[in-house]
Protein backbone atom coordinates (compact mmCIF):
# COMPACT_ATOMS: atom_id res chain seq x y z
CA UNK A 1 0.00 0.00 0.00
CA UNK A 2 1.43 3.38 -1.02
CA UNK A 3 1.87 5.94 1.73
CA UNK A 4 1.67 9.60 0.77
CA UNK A 5 4.06 11.99 2.51
CA UNK A 6 4.68 15.72 2.34
CA UNK A 7 7.88 16.31 0.41
CA UNK A 8 9.47 18.40 3.17
CA UNK A 9 8.85 15.71 5.77
CA UNK A 10 10.81 13.01 3.93
CA UNK A 11 13.83 11.57 5.69
CA UNK A 12 16.27 12.90 3.07
CA UNK A 13 15.30 16.42 4.10
CA UNK A 14 14.64 19.53 2.09
CA UNK A 15 17.11 22.31 1.36
CA UNK A 16 15.28 25.48 2.35
CA UNK A 17 16.72 28.86 1.35
CA UNK A 18 16.35 32.16 3.18
CA UNK A 19 17.16 35.42 1.41
CA UNK A 20 16.96 38.84 3.01
CA UNK A 21 17.72 42.29 1.73
CA UNK A 22 17.38 45.59 3.54
CA UNK A 23 15.14 48.30 2.15
CA UNK A 24 18.26 50.31 1.24
CA UNK A 25 19.89 47.50 -0.76
CA UNK A 26 19.55 47.23 -4.50
CA UNK A 27 17.18 44.64 -5.93
CA UNK A 28 20.16 42.95 -7.57
CA UNK A 29 21.35 41.90 -4.09
CA UNK A 30 18.23 39.84 -3.51
CA UNK A 31 18.33 38.36 -7.00
CA UNK A 32 21.96 37.28 -6.48
CA UNK A 33 21.01 35.53 -3.22
CA UNK A 34 18.10 33.75 -4.89
CA UNK A 35 20.37 32.64 -7.75
CA UNK A 36 23.00 31.26 -5.35
CA UNK A 37 20.41 29.46 -3.23
CA UNK A 38 18.86 27.88 -6.31
CA UNK A 39 22.28 26.77 -7.56
CA UNK A 40 22.95 25.18 -4.16
CA UNK A 41 19.86 23.01 -4.60
CA UNK A 42 17.17 24.81 -2.61
CA UNK A 43 13.71 23.62 -3.60
CA UNK A 44 11.90 26.15 -1.38
CA UNK A 45 13.00 29.70 -0.63
CA UNK A 46 11.67 32.26 1.83
CA UNK A 47 12.55 35.88 1.03
CA UNK A 48 11.97 39.24 2.63
CA UNK A 49 12.88 42.88 2.20
CA UNK A 50 12.97 44.91 5.38
CA UNK A 51 15.07 47.30 7.40
CA UNK A 52 18.14 45.87 9.10
CA UNK A 53 16.81 47.20 12.42
CA UNK A 54 13.30 45.75 12.04
CA UNK A 55 12.16 43.96 15.20
CA UNK A 56 10.65 40.97 13.43
CA UNK A 57 11.53 38.91 10.38
CA UNK A 58 8.22 37.25 9.45
CA UNK A 59 9.63 35.21 6.58
CA UNK A 60 12.48 33.84 8.69
CA UNK A 61 9.92 32.86 11.33
CA UNK A 62 7.80 31.25 8.59
CA UNK A 63 10.83 29.29 7.36
CA UNK A 64 11.65 28.07 10.88
CA UNK A 65 8.03 27.04 11.37
CA UNK A 66 7.81 25.25 7.99
CA UNK A 67 10.95 23.15 8.31
CA UNK A 68 10.95 19.65 9.72
CA UNK A 69 13.56 17.31 11.18
CA UNK A 70 16.20 16.45 8.60
CA UNK A 71 15.77 19.69 6.62
CA UNK A 72 18.61 22.18 6.18
CA UNK A 73 18.35 25.97 6.12
CA UNK A 74 20.66 27.66 3.60
CA UNK A 75 21.73 31.31 3.53
CA UNK A 76 24.34 32.91 1.30
CA UNK A 77 26.08 34.94 4.01
CA UNK A 78 25.96 35.14 7.79
CA UNK A 79 24.72 38.75 7.83
CA UNK A 80 21.65 37.72 5.83
CA UNK A 81 20.58 35.49 8.72
CA UNK A 82 21.78 36.99 12.01
CA UNK A 83 22.38 40.51 13.36
CA UNK A 84 24.86 39.46 16.04
CA UNK A 85 26.63 36.41 17.43
CA UNK A 86 23.94 36.18 20.13
CA UNK A 87 21.22 36.33 17.46
CA UNK A 88 22.97 33.56 15.51
CA UNK A 89 23.19 31.38 18.62
CA UNK A 90 19.45 31.87 19.31
CA UNK A 91 18.53 30.95 15.72
CA UNK A 92 20.76 27.88 15.65
CA UNK A 93 19.32 26.73 19.00
CA UNK A 94 15.83 26.93 17.47
CA UNK A 95 17.05 24.95 14.44
CA UNK A 96 18.78 22.35 16.62
CA UNK A 97 15.61 21.87 18.68
CA UNK A 98 13.77 20.95 15.48
CA UNK A 99 16.57 18.72 14.18
CA UNK A 100 17.28 21.15 11.32
CA UNK A 101 20.77 21.86 9.97
CA UNK A 102 22.25 25.18 8.84
CA UNK A 103 24.52 25.96 5.91
CA UNK A 104 26.14 29.35 5.29
CA UNK A 105 27.50 29.27 1.77
CA UNK A 106 30.07 32.09 1.99
CA UNK A 107 31.63 30.57 5.14
CA UNK A 108 31.41 26.98 3.91
CA UNK A 109 29.74 26.29 7.29
CA UNK A 110 27.50 23.24 7.57
CA UNK A 111 26.22 22.35 11.04
CA UNK A 112 25.35 18.83 9.91
CA UNK A 113 29.10 18.07 9.86
CA UNK A 114 31.40 17.67 12.89
CA UNK A 115 33.51 20.68 11.81
CA UNK A 116 30.40 22.83 11.39
CA UNK A 117 29.14 21.87 14.84
CA UNK A 118 32.53 22.76 16.33
CA UNK A 119 32.51 26.19 14.64
CA UNK A 120 29.00 26.83 15.95
CA UNK A 121 30.00 25.86 19.49
CA UNK A 122 32.93 28.30 19.25
CA UNK A 123 30.58 31.09 18.15
CA UNK A 124 28.30 30.28 21.10
CA UNK A 125 31.29 30.45 23.48
CA UNK A 126 32.29 33.84 22.02
CA UNK A 127 28.74 35.15 22.57
CA UNK A 128 28.84 34.04 26.22
CA UNK A 129 32.31 35.57 26.63
CA UNK A 130 31.08 38.92 25.21
CA UNK A 131 28.11 38.87 27.59
CA UNK A 132 30.33 38.19 30.62
CA UNK A 133 32.68 41.03 29.62
CA UNK A 134 29.75 43.42 29.27
CA UNK A 135 28.38 42.49 32.71
CA UNK A 136 31.84 42.82 34.26
CA UNK A 137 32.30 46.30 32.76
CA UNK A 138 28.85 47.26 34.05
CA UNK A 139 29.68 46.03 37.58
CA UNK A 140 33.06 47.85 37.52
CA UNK A 141 31.36 51.06 36.38
CA UNK A 142 28.79 50.90 39.19
CA UNK A 143 31.49 50.14 41.80
CA UNK A 144 33.56 53.10 40.59
CA UNK A 145 30.53 55.44 40.62
CA UNK A 146 29.62 54.31 44.16
CA UNK A 147 33.21 54.90 45.35
CA UNK A 148 33.08 58.43 43.91
CA UNK A 149 29.63 59.07 45.43
CA UNK A 150 28.03 59.49 42.00
CA UNK A 151 25.84 56.39 41.94
CA UNK A 152 22.28 56.91 43.12
CA UNK A 153 20.70 53.86 41.54
CA UNK A 154 17.66 53.85 39.36
CA UNK A 155 14.66 55.61 40.81
CA UNK A 156 11.31 53.89 40.32
CA UNK A 157 9.42 55.55 37.47
CA UNK A 158 6.36 56.38 39.59
CA UNK A 159 8.43 58.02 42.34
CA UNK A 160 10.02 60.36 39.78
CA UNK A 161 6.49 61.56 39.05
CA UNK A 162 5.66 62.39 42.68
CA UNK A 163 5.96 66.14 42.10
CA UNK A 164 3.61 65.95 39.14
CA UNK A 165 1.07 63.86 41.08
CA UNK A 166 0.98 66.38 43.96
CA UNK A 167 0.77 69.35 41.59
CA UNK A 168 -2.15 67.88 39.62
CA UNK A 169 -3.94 66.89 42.84
CA UNK A 170 -3.54 70.46 44.11
CA UNK A 171 -5.15 71.64 40.87
CA UNK A 172 -8.18 69.52 41.71
CA UNK A 173 -7.55 66.70 39.28
CA UNK A 174 -8.99 63.27 40.02
CA UNK A 175 -6.89 60.10 40.38
CA UNK A 176 -8.07 59.01 36.93
CA UNK A 177 -6.97 62.33 35.41
CA UNK A 178 -3.54 62.01 37.05
CA UNK A 179 -3.11 58.43 35.77
CA UNK A 180 -3.96 59.54 32.24
CA UNK A 181 -1.71 62.61 32.40
CA UNK A 182 1.40 60.94 33.84
CA UNK A 183 1.09 57.38 32.56
CA UNK A 184 1.53 55.74 35.96
CA UNK A 185 -0.73 53.27 37.75
CA UNK A 186 -3.65 54.26 39.96
CA UNK A 187 -1.97 52.39 42.85
CA UNK A 188 1.15 54.54 42.43
CA UNK A 189 -0.93 57.72 42.51
CA UNK A 190 -2.64 56.69 45.77
CA UNK A 191 0.67 55.59 47.32
CA UNK A 192 2.32 58.95 46.52
CA UNK A 193 -0.68 60.85 47.91
CA UNK A 194 -0.71 58.70 51.07
CA UNK A 195 3.02 59.18 51.62
CA UNK A 196 2.64 62.92 51.11
CA UNK A 197 -0.20 63.22 53.64
CA UNK A 198 1.79 61.14 56.13
CA UNK A 199 4.75 63.50 55.84
CA UNK A 200 2.66 66.58 56.55
Give pLDDT tens digits for 31-87: 999 999 999 999 999 999 886 666 788 999 999 999 999 999 999 998 888 877 778
Q: Which residue has the higher pLDDT, 182 or 17?
A: 17
State the pLDDT at residue 42.
95
Contact 155, 188 (CB under 8 A): no
Q: Structurally, what CATH architecture does the domain formed by 7-117 represent? A: 3-Layer(aba) Sandwich (3.40)
Does the structure show a pLDDT above 60 at 2?
Answer: no
Does the structure show a pLDDT above 70 at 125?
Answer: yes
State the pLDDT at residue 160.
76
State the pLDDT at residue 8.
43
State the pLDDT at residue 64.
92
Distance of CA 69 to the CA centre of its chain: 23
Catalytic status, residue 51:
no
Query: What's the mean pLDDT when you consider all of the chain?
Result: 81
* Secondary structure (3-state) at 65: helix
State the pLDDT at residue 123.
77
Q: What is the DSSP string of 123-176?
A: HHHHHHHHHHHHHHHHHHHHHHHHHTT----PPPHHHHTHHHHHHHHHTT--HH
If you average pLDDT over each of 62-76, 128-142, 152-166, which comes out highest? Answer: 62-76
State the pLDDT at residue 158.
65
Q: Which residue has the higher pLDDT, 1 or 162?
A: 162
Per the residue annotation, which of 22, 38, 52, 174 is the catalytic one? Answer: 22
The mean pLDDT value for 96-117 works out to: 89
State the pLDDT at residue 142.
84
pTM of the shown model: 0.57
Amino acid sequence: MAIQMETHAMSSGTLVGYARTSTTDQKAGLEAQLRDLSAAGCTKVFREELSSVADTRPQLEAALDWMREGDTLLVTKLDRLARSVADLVAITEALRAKGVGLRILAMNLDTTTPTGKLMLNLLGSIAEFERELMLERQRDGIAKAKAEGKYVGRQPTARRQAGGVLRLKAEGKSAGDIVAALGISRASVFRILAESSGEQ
